[in-house]
Amino acid sequence: MSELFEFSDDREASSAARVRALEALLIEKGVIATDSVDVVLKHFETMAGPFNGAKIVARAWVDPDYARRLVEDTPKAIAELSLPLGMTGAEGEHMAAVANDANVHNLIICTLCSCYPWPVLGLPPYWYKDPVFRARGVREPRAVLQEFGVQVPATKEVKVWDSSAQIRWFVVPERPANTEHLSEEELAALVTPESMMGVALVEAPAG
C-alpha cells in the first residue's frame, strides 16, 4: 500500500487528539454542548454504521432474489430488513448498491467532495476525502486498488462509481469461498466498510 493510503497508528492517534481538542474548544466556546456530542456518538454507535451495511450484504449473499432486488431497487430492498435506520438520516438519501462478481469489481469514490452513505458505512475514512485519492481513483483505479492490496485480474472489469448528493453508492462484495457453513450473522461479521467501498476483499475466517 502506498504511503498516501497507509494506515498509521501515529496518524490515527494524532487525528483522534485533534478531534478531542476541537471538541473541547467548541464546548468551551459554547458552539456545541457535551450532551450534543453524546447524542451524535450514540447515533453512530447504535443507528448508523457499517453494521447496517454488513447485514445487507450478508442477506444478499444467502438470498439471490434479495441480491437482485437490492441492486434493482436499493431503498425498497433495504426497507425489507429490520435495520435501526434504513434509508433515512444524514447522507442516507438516494443510496444505491452495485455488486461485485466474477466479471466486475466496483470502486466507490466522490470526485466533488466526500459524499458517502453514512447509514450503511459509518463515517468516511480520512483518505476518502483526499483529492489525490479521488483523482487517481478515476484515472487509474487498478493501480489504486493494488496499493490497497486488491489485485484485480486483467480479465475483470473495474467500474468506478462517483457518489454525489443525488446518489450515494456502496458495494456488495463477493462472498468468500468456503463459507457455505456460516450463518447469516457469521457472514455479516466478515464484512468490512472497506469491502463495501471496493478497496478490500472479504476474507474467509481462518480455519
The verdict on 25 and 102 lying in the same domain is no
71 domain-assigned = yes
Task: Identify whether 110 is a catalytic site residue.
Answer: yes
195 annotated among ligand-binding-site residues: no
Domain range for residue 25? 7-46
2 domain-assigned = no
The verdict on 79 and 142 lying in the same domain is yes
| pLDDT tens digit at each of 207 positions of the chain | 444 454 444 544 554 555 455 556 555 656 556 555 444 544 454 456 899 999 999 999 999 999 999 999 998 999 898 776 544 554 556 899 999 999 999 999 999 888 989 889 988 898 999 999 999 999 999 999 999 999 999 999 999 999 998 899 999 999 999 999 999 999 999 999 999 999 999 999 986
Residue reference for cell 444524514: 90
200 domain-assigned = yes
The verdict on 104 and 171 lying in the same domain is yes
75 domain-assigned = yes
The verdict on 170 and 95 lying in the same domain is yes
How far apart CA 202 and CA 198 sit, in angstroms, is 10
The verdict on 92 and 61 lying in the same domain is yes
What separation in angstroms does the CA of 172 have from each of 53, 60, 74, 177?
Answer: 9, 8, 11, 15
The verdict on 59 and 128 lying in the same domain is yes
74 domain-assigned = yes
End-to-end CA distance of the chain: 26
Task: Identify whether 163 is a catalytic site residue.
Answer: no
Choice among 2, 113, 164, 183 that is catalytic = 113
pLDDT given for residue 1 in this prediction: 45
pLDDT given for residue 118 in this prediction: 86
Task: Tell me if 130 sits within 8 A of 114, measured CB to CB.
Answer: no
